[in-house]
Amino acid sequence: MTEKPTILVTGYGAWAVAENNPAAQVAARLAQEEFECCNLVTAELDVDTNALQDNVNYLLDEHQPDGWIGLGVSRSAVIKPEMVGINWRHFGVPDATGARLQATPIVENGPAAYNATLPCAEMVENLRANHIPAMLSFSAGTHLCNQLIYVLGHTTKTRGIPLKSGFVHIPQSPENIAEKCGVSDGFASMDLAISTRAVRICVQVLAAELAA
């Protein structure tokens, strides 16, 4: 690849678990930065299970990215690049539209799973080298975070699009935890500045792989 790769970072927006979602906040912060390693594009995704496929198709056509890092929030204390997305939607919490699917395939008769194609292990290695807690994850749950991995894998395969794609979970923000004090006692959080630095590192690792 002779030109700088285009990398798309998407952050999920408001829903029941995070009305002010740190995933969207981190994506918005990165949109204000200049990256020498890539052309960075960011977008906020609705937490809408039934609109996700159309939104993915639109962003692929609009930006034609070489890489896609999806962002979402988790209860974990660490940054977690996700390794795999499975073909199930099973919601303990409704999406932003109120949909609460149970044991429903993402793609009827689709493959059981798609592996993420991001350099997840290298991301974790670089994050730890920069003193940011991180670990590989082999379960992205059964909500829209998992769904995005699967939809990206299925869409790029069926459309023949060369794309490095996957998902990174970031912790809740301290502000969100503070607002729910007493309701979410013991939940972990990470300052938005650190989460932003972590995703910046993930972008740089992905850009290096794409350039190679």
Residue with tokens 């056509």: 61
Q: Give kind and range of the element (H or E) at residue 136.
A: none
How much is the pLDDT for 18?
82
Which amino acid is present at 194? I
Q: Hey, which residues are catalytic here?
A: 82, 145, 169
Does position 185 have pLDDT exceeding 70, yes or no?
Answer: no
What is the average pLDDT across 51-69?
Answer: 98
pLDDT, one tens digit per residue, over 82-100 is 999 999 999 999 999 999 9
How much is the pLDDT for 43?
98
Its pTM stands at: 0.96
Q: What is the DSSP string of 81-97?
A: EE-EEES-B--SS--TT
CB 113 within 8 Å of CB 14? no
How much is the pLDDT for 181?
61
Write down the mean pLDDT value for the chain: 95
Which amino acid is present at 81? P
How much is the pLDDT for 2?
55
Identify the DSSP state of 78: S
Rounded CA-CA distance 141/120 in Å is 17
User: What percent of the chain lies above the pLDDT cut of 70?
Assistant: 97
pLDDT, one tens digit per residue, over 16-41 is 888 899 999 999 999 999 999 999 99
**Looking only at Cα atoms, what is the longest distance across the chain?**
53
How much is the pLDDT for 67?
98
Count other Cβ atoms within 10 Å, centred on residue 78. 19
Does position 198 have pLDDT exceeding 70, yes or no?
Answer: yes
CB 202 within 8 Å of CB 127? yes
What is the average pLDDT across 111-135?
Answer: 98
Does position 153 have pLDDT exceeding 80, yes or no?
Answer: yes
Which of 53-57, 120-124, 144-148, 180-184 bottoms out in mean pLDDT, i.e. has the lowest? 180-184
* Length, in residues, of the chain: 212
What is the average pLDDT across 45-53?
Answer: 98
What is the set of domains in the chain, with CATH numbers? Answer: 6-211 (3.40.630.20)
Residue with tokens 């660490």: 78
Rounded CA-CA distance 209/186 in Å is 37
